[in-house]
Amino acid sequence: MVLSIGGNIKKLRAEKGVTQEQLAEHLAITYQSVSKWENNITVPDLYLIPKIAEYFDIFIDELFKPNMVGYKNTAQRLLAVYEQTGKKEDFDKADKAYEKIFSEEKADGVDKRLYGILNEYRSYALAAKAEDLYRQAISMGIETESQLLYLLSKTGRNEENIATQEAFMRENPDNIRSWQLLVFAYEYAKMYDKAYETAQKGLAKFPNNAALLGACGDLCRMLKKYDEAIDYHEKAIVCDPGLGGSYYSLAFIYKDLNQYNEAITAWENVKRFCAEKGLDVEMQWPSNEIAKLQALLDD
């Protein structure tokens, strides 16, 4: 133990880039004490062990390992801690350490790769948390299924989405929501033809459903069936003027077609919709788009 703890403290101090004096000051002891540890003359008092571990962001047992793993820097060690704990506070420590390296322009390719890994791990944790929250909301009667489908799709679970929604459709063929969600599952998997076919079958049962009409419009846009897309979105607005998605979709379609005057009119309709709904915070987007389109017309 004597040999390992002294050498480990020396290794950790070098990683952190601090002197014996700085470590001693933090622990409220003399630097000679630190020197004696590192030269295997003495060992730290028992009450100092947790403070040393906390200072170097390691677990206490690591101080006593005969062959403690060396790390390139403190950030890399903190990444290893987060890999073990998965705790947000450990992610924050590692994140802060990497941000410091980047701000000091000391990051090399290895640092960038490992910082990417740190954020990838965190994204998985956040996705799992989001999934759990969505499922809780659904269990409480909140329609959040489409958000859950989108999240699962983004994390590579399209087959699961499709299997779940196809089963739900078979059990609930007269439920409009089952049609909508199956369309989303196919769409998120980029099976646009299948999604369009399903949406049309749904419209045969529910011809005035604005959500399905809008879904057909969006799918037609992806399939470059622009005339049909416009027709579907206009019908969706007639069926439900309060469903805002089709206002935006028409603006996008006309921009795709380089029909800038029509696109400006569509964005003006978006502005009116936002004003009627009290969505003041969203008013800037259509205004910006109108300015861009006007500039294109003026060229």
In a domain, 217, yes or no: yes
- Whole-number Å distance between alpha carbons of 112 and 133: 31
Query: What's the domain count of the chain?
Result: 4
CA 231 to chain centre: 34
In a 3-state reduction of DSSP, which class is residue 91?
A: helix
- Whole-number Å distance between alpha carbons of 112 and 173: 50
Q: Looking at the structure, do residues 75 and 118 belong to the same domain, yes or no?
A: yes
Best CA proximity match to 195, nearest among 213, 178, 216: 216
Say which CATH number the domain at 35 has: 1.10.260.40
In a domain, 148, yes or no: no
Q: Which residues of the chain have pLDDT under 50?
A: 1-2
- Please check whether residue 165 is in contact with residue 178, taking contact to mean a CB–CB distance below 8 angstroms: yes
Q: Looking at the structure, do residues 223 and 257 belong to the same domain, yes or no?
A: no
Pair of tokens at residue 15: 């990683």
DSSP sequence for 94-132: HHHHHHHHHHTT---HHHHHHHHHHHHHHHHHHHHHHHH
Q: Looking at the structure, do residues 49 and 81 belong to the same domain, yes or no?
A: no
Q: Looking at the structure, do residues 134 and 87 belong to the same domain, yes or no?
A: yes
Q: What are the angstrom distances between the C-alpha of 27 and each of 12, 63, 203, 280?
A: 15, 16, 72, 55
Give me the pLDDT at residue 281, please.
73
* Cβ partners under 8 Å of residue 26, min gap 6: 51, 55
In a domain, 110, yes or no: yes
pLDDT-above-70 percentage for the chain: 99
Give me the pLDDT at residue 2, please.
44
Domain boundary at 216, 235, 254, which?
235
In a domain, 147, yes or no: no
Give me the pLDDT at residue 193, please.
95
In a domain, 186, yes or no: yes
Domain boundary at 194, 218, 235, which?
235
Best CA proximity match to 136, nearest among 148, 154, 146: 148
Question: Which bin fits 59, alpha (ψ -120 to 50), beta or left (φ > 0)?
Answer: beta
Domain boundary at 142, 168, 192, which?
142
Q: Looking at the structure, do residues 83 and 62 belong to the same domain, yes or no?
A: no
- Please check whether residue 15 is in contact with residue 77, taking contact to mean a CB–CB distance below 8 angstroms: yes
In a 3-state reduction of DSSP, which class is residue 258?
A: coil
- Residue ranges making up the domain that contains 58: 1-68
**Helix 88-103 / helix 109-139 crossing angle, nearest 10 deg:** 150
Q: Looking at the structure, do residues 91 and 131 belong to the same domain, yes or no?
A: yes
Give me the pLDDT at residue 125, please.
93
Best CA proximity match to 44, nearest among 15, 17, 24, 59: 24
Predicted TM-score (pTM) of the model is 0.74
Q: Which residue has the tokens 């793993």?
A: 69
Q: Looking at the structure, do residues 123 and 82 belong to the same domain, yes or no?
A: yes
Q: Looking at the structure, do residues 57 and 76 belong to the same domain, yes or no?
A: no
225-271 per-position pLDDT tens digit: 999 999 999 999 999 998 889 999 999 999 999 999 999 999 999 99
Give me the pLDDT at residue 3, please.
56
* Cβ partners under 8 Å of residue 270, min gap 6: 244, 247, 248, 251, 285, 286
35 burial type by CB count under 10 A (0-12 exposed, 13-18 middle, 19+ buried): middle
* Cβ partners under 8 Å of residue 143, min gap 6: 177
In a domain, 185, yes or no: yes
Q: Looking at the structure, do residues 20 and 46 belong to the same domain, yes or no?
A: yes
> What Rg value do the Cα atoms of the chain yield, rounded?
29
Give me the pLDDT at residue 57, please.
76
Beta strands in the chain (DSSP E): none
In a domain, 46, yes or no: yes
